[in-house]
Amino acid sequence: MASIFTKIIKGEIPSYKIAETEKFFAFLDINPNAKGHTLCVPKREVDKITDLDRDSYLGLMDFAIKIGRALEATVRCKRVGMTVIGLEVPHVHVHLIPLNEMKEATFQHKVRLSPAEFEALADKIRAELKKNPL
Ligand code: AMP
């Protein structure tokens, strides 16, 4: 069965999309640790990061770094943290989390955004990415 992220990539489930390339897709995490928490995923459905071949891994990191730069330019934070968990969704994804405090990296601290706030945030990040296209 297709993962929830494959359904998002195919547009079968809505998301607050940030960017996509031929191979990768980025969207806002629906239950964010902090404002701007973004997920970067390969379009090809692979379970674990350790299952990725070298090119896919390096491509995902390159994509995530570029999205991370746009987040740092958009969201007030000390830096963007990157982590890979995968306990909930078996489709490899990189969490990019704009961090001000360590608790935002714990996945036990969550913030609530309205749909309008998610959309406005995604708009700002997309506008920033237009300055440095992927
Ligand atoms: P994990 O697999 O443990 O790395 O966590 C999966 C992440 O995906 C969590 O942070 C969820 O909030 C996020 N998530 C799950 N479903 C969706 C969705 N439909 N849209 C955006 N983010 C999601």
CB of 85 closer than 6 angstroms to any ligand 1 atom: yes
- Residues 94, 40: contact at Cβ < 8 Å? yes
Q: Is 93 a catalytic residue?
A: yes
Q: From the CB of residue 6, how many other CB atoms can be counted at a distance below 10 Å?
A: 17
Provide the whole-model pTM.
0.98
DSSP tag of 103: G
In this model, does residue 1 exceed pLDDT 90? Answer: no
Alpha carbon 85 to its chain centroid, in Å, reads: 13
How far CA 115 is from CA of 15, 30, 122, in Å, comes to 10, 10, 11
pLDDT band (50, 70, 90) for residue 71 = very high
Tell me which residue has its CA closest to atom 1 in ligand 1: 86
Three-class SS state of 21: coil
Averaged pLDDT for residues 24-49 = 98
User: Tokens 């806002």 appear where?
Assistant: 28
Residue 116 pLDDT greater than 90, yes or no: yes
Rounded average pLDDT over 115-131:
97
Confidence class for position 133, pLDDT limits 50, 70, 90 = confident
Q: Which domains does the chain have, with CATH numbers?
A: 4-131 (3.30.428.10)
